[in-house]
A and B are shown apart, each in its own frame.
Chain A
């Protein structure tokens, strides 16, 4: 019951936030709506039984990435300057190309649906209500089966930090 409520609330939060990100004209509001969408995805992770991932999502994305985005908006002139790039591009193409695009998209959808038909119709298992922590299992898997990817990702993070610090250094005059 609680899981069902959580699912409905999180999916509504995700969908509404993503739509508002699409519609808004203000980049600060877009950042705040991104926060809502990431929070909704964290809730969906919880309904899937992935508690560690939900906590990581909240810590890294909401604590790190969104705050970084807000810093970048502020450092690049705040709201006024950023309004310029937010106006949508005028539509290119005519009715024929739009019809062609809709036709191609629907053909693609039909093909993908045929491919995924079995999965859609045979996996209707509901989420188990018994709670079981995934932290220990993920930790074990990370340090046994996936140790190489773990180490490479740590090197990647170090490289990204050093690279960001070097790229964004102030101008020398």
Chain B
């Protein structure tokens, strides 16, 4: 009962809500990226829990593997953009990022 699907879904829901609040309430670009990582982890946890309890195969785990790959790529590119933006405008406040062309 305690380690059923429901508890995993509730933990994942909690992670998702924390990530969304961090994404909305913070104005620091790196903090927003941290929130995105939390949301991706929540979805990965959902995939693994459903593949364990409902589908009973390994498709969810493989999907989670691809989520991890995409999250790593997203973090690399996002942080590169952040560093570039810092070089140009000396700030990582999201409201200062108003220009596409440097």
Q: Which residues of A are at the interface with B, using a C-beta cutoff of 8 A?
A: 3-4, 7, 11, 14-15, 18-19, 21-22, 27, 30-31, 34, 37-38, 41, 44-45, 47-50, 52-53, 56-57, 60-61, 64-65, 68-69, 71-73, 75-77, 81-82, 84-89, 116, 119-120, 123-127, 134, 137-138, 141-142, 146, 149, 153, 156-157, 159-161, 163-165, 167-168, 170-171
Separation of A137 and B33 alpha carbons in the complex (Å): 33
**Beta-carbon contact of A14 and B61 below 8 Å:** no
What are 25 contact pairs spanning A and B, CB under 8 A? A21-B38, A22-B18, A22-B21, A41-B45, A50-B48, A50-B61, A53-B48, A53-B65, A60-B69, A73-B30, A77-B86, A82-B92, A84-B93, A89-B24, A89-B25, A124-B5, A127-B3, A127-B52, A141-B58, A149-B62, A157-B72, A160-B73, A165-B80, A168-B84, A171-B87
**Beta-carbon contact of A85 and B5 below 8 Å:** no
Separation of A106 and B94 alpha carbons in the complex (Å): 31
**Beta-carbon contact of B75 and A76 below 8 Å:** no
Q: Which residues of chain A are within 8 angstroms of B66 by Cβ–Cβ distance?
A: 149, 153
Separation of A76 and B88 alpha carbons in the complex (Å): 11
* Shortest Cβ gap from A166 to chain B (Å): 8
Chain B CB count within 10 A is highest, among A44, A75, A120, A156, for A44
Kindly supply a per-residue 1/0 record for chain B positions 40-81, scoring 1 wherever the CB is within 8 Å of any chain A CB and 0 otherwise: 010011001100111000110110111011111111110111
In the complex, residue of chain B having the shortest beta-carbon distance to the beta carbon of A47: B3
**Beta-carbon contact of B18 and A21 below 8 Å:** yes
In terms of DSSP, what is the predominant structure of the interface of chain A? helix
Separation of A168 and B74 alpha carbons in the complex (Å): 14
**Beta-carbon contact of B73 and A156 below 8 Å:** yes
**Beta-carbon contact of A49 and B52 below 8 Å:** yes
Q: Which residues of B are at the interface with A, using a C-beta cutoff of 8 A?
A: 1-9, 11, 14-15, 18-19, 21-22, 24-31, 33-34, 37-38, 41, 44-45, 48-49, 52-54, 58-59, 61-62, 64-66, 68-77, 79-84, 86-87, 91-94
**Beta-carbon contact of B62 and A167 below 8 Å:** no
In the complex, residue of chain A having the shortest beta-carbon distance to the beta carbon of B102: A171
Q: Which residues of chain A are within 8 angstroms of B15 by Cβ–Cβ distance?
A: 14, 18, 37, 41
Q: Which residues of chain A are within 8 angstroms of B44 by Cβ–Cβ distance?
A: 41
Query: What 5 A-B pairs are tightest by C-beta distance, nearest first?
Result: A85-B28, A160-B73, A164-B80, A168-B80, A18-B18
Separation of A38 and B49 alpha carbons in the complex (Å): 16
